[in-house]
Copies of this chain bind each other. A is one copy, B any other.
Amino acid sequence: MSHRPSGRAFDQLRVIRLETGFSRHAEGSCLAKFGDTHVLCTASVEERVPPFLRNTGKGWVTAEYGMLPRSTHTRTDREAAKGKQSGRTHEIQRLIGRSLRAVTDLTAMGEMQIKLDCDVLQADGGTRTASITGAWVALHLAFQKLVEAGKLSAVPLIDQVAAISCGIYEGQAVLDLDYPEDSSAQADANFVLTGTGGIVEVQGTAEERPFSRDQFTQLLELAEKGVTELALLQKKAVGLA
């Protein structure tokens, strides 16, 4: 019997929707919904690569992240108005970029750049994991468009990548924390895994007191289960399943 605020089983994801085509202008887009967390992910293809890649024939995939001021329970100050992005924003957008590059064949994509913008329209916990999961879909769609336009011969993605958070909530390891769980969890970990089970990123944090190695193993196993489900939804979203 579940004691989670949402009534979910300890190993149950929220209702997940990966809606494509939300944005009319972007080369690829996905509105990733993890329950009440809604993140709009758009992929923009640019001809220019960063300076360190010029004339190398290799491409680049990078990401930016933002939250609408009233995506949160109480309003958060607009970063553009404050004149700088928070440390948290920097952390998340670097994580998204690394995660996508880990499954992209940068040589095969050639000298171009794709920027993934992950903007949180509504937040209820897990915005970074929804961002990564949705960004992979948007990226895949943008690559498909380049293939259709004859600019690439195949989609240069080696694998899928998706992410999920797990945590220790009231002493129990649970999958896919929502905001009420996240704000009172003893530990919180984000896992970025590939479709074939490889680990791309692990970020585990004890909120107040340290956790044990056994607990950490439980979190990892829940994540593996969750990402398997997410990977199937991604395939459907891009027309591969």
Most interface-central of A40, A42, A78, A89 (chain B CB within 10 A): A78
Within 8 Å by CB of A87, from B94, B193, B210, lies: B94
Asked whether A148 is an interface residue with its Cβ less than 8 Å from the other chain, the reply is: no
> Contacts A36-B24, A70-B44, A80-B79 given: A210-B199 contact, CB under 8 Å?
yes
How many monomers of this chain does the complex have? 6
Chain B residues with Cβ below 8 Å from A83 are 83-84
Distance in angstroms from A208 CB to nearest chain B CB is: 7
A241 within 8 A of B: no
How distant is the Cα of A84 from the Cα of B80 in the complex, in angstroms?
6
Q: Which A residues have a C-beta under 8 Å from some C-beta of B?
A: 23-26, 29, 36, 40, 42, 44, 46, 64, 66, 68-75, 78-81, 83-91, 93-94, 98, 102-103, 115, 117, 119, 121-124, 159, 189, 193-194, 196-206, 208-213, 216, 220
